[in-house]
Amino acid sequence: MNTLILVLRIVLGAMLVVFGSNKFIGFIPGFEFANPDAGIFFGALADSYVLKTVGIIEVLVGLLLLTKKAVPFALILLAPISVNIILFHATLDPANIGPGAFVFVANAFLIFKSWSTYKTLF
């Protein structure tokens, strides 16, 4: 089980650093959404401060996960982002839900496995 947690933490951290950095540098080519509403919504996010803020948080969380520093804090920071990723894809872009589903499930699983850390919050 510890190996699974380690692998999930590293893969999730690497994904977040890559996709978070992409929000600033743009090294991953853009793609067309199947649903035009998804493109309009995503474009509105890209034209505002929201996508840059999410990118900063993703890079920060990814680095925390990769260095194993403040992992419970990082997972809590990621929770609302992962929920929004899965909701965006579930409602507007279901064809591309795979990576978002991985982020959501990995985040939920890692929170579950360190639940004793969060007991005082609830």
Is the pLDDT score of 80 beyond 90? Answer: yes
pLDDT band at 99 (very low <50, low <70, confident <90, very high): very high
Q: How far apart are CA 24 and CA 21, in angstroms?
A: 6
User: Which pLDDT belongs to residue 32?
Assistant: 83
Is the pLDDT score of 70 beyond 90? Answer: yes
User: Which pLDDT belongs to residue 39?
Assistant: 92
Q: How far apart are CA 17 and CA 11, in angstroms?
A: 10
Q: Of 103, 100, 89, 23, give the one whose Cα is nearest residue 56.
A: 23
The half-sphere exposure of 53 on its side-chain side, counting CA atoms within 13 A, is 8
pLDDT band at 85 (very low <50, low <70, confident <90, very high): very high
User: Which pLDDT belongs to residue 95?
Assistant: 92
Is the pLDDT score of 31 beyond 90? Answer: no
pLDDT, average across residues 102-110: 97
pLDDT band at 122 (very low <50, low <70, confident <90, very high): confident
Which tokens go with 4?
């699974």
User: Which pLDDT belongs to residue 43?
Assistant: 92
pLDDT, average across residues 57-66: 98
